[in-house]
Amino acid sequence: MKIEDLARPGLMAFGVAGLAATALLGFAAGVALSRDPEALRRAAQRMAREAARGLEQATLLAAQAREQVGDLWAEAREHAVAEVDAADFERSAARTASVKRTPRPRKAAAKRATQQSST
């Protein structure tokens, strides 16, 4: 006998199995609820508590991630500002070194006046 010769279960068989499983679960839930009417309320409260706890943990993780990203951004900004300041300082120092020292006009005029008055 080959595996191809076996009949495949049809869609109807899956539907009947699903219906039977649903009926069995419904019956079990009905029996449990009839024995303890407060079980549904307790289960709902427990699920609500767990959902609230999960939401609180997710909020906390999001806040920590936001804080970490903010710290990284501030650090990157500090480095960028330091690099720009260093480049400005180097440019200023190079410009100052390249400019020749010329005497100021007032000092030059005062020197000439003192030289002329002394001669």
What residues contact 32, with CB distance under 8 A and at least 6 apart?
A: 39
- Asked if the structure places residue 25 within a domain, the reply is yes
Task: Reply yes or no on whether the pLDDT at 119 is more than 70.
Answer: no
pLDDT at residue number 16? 87
- H helices of the chain, in order, are 11-35, 39-98, 105-118
What pLDDT sits at residue 110? Answer: 72
Does any domain span residue 77? yes
In this structure, is residue 116 part of a structural domain?
A: no
Residue 2 maps to a domain: no
pLDDT at 22 over 90: yes
pLDDT in tens, 60-113: 999 999 999 999 999 999 999 999 999 999 988 888 877 655 556 666 677 777
Whether pLDDT at 24 is above 60: yes
Distance of CA 53 to the CA centre of its chain: 21
Contact in structure between 30 and 23 (CB atoms under 8 Å): no
d(CA 22, CA 30): 12
pLDDT at position 93: 84
In a domain, 76, yes or no: yes
pLDDT given at position 53: 97
11 or 36, higher pLDDT = 36
Residue 66 lies in a domain: yes
Name the domain count of the chain: 1
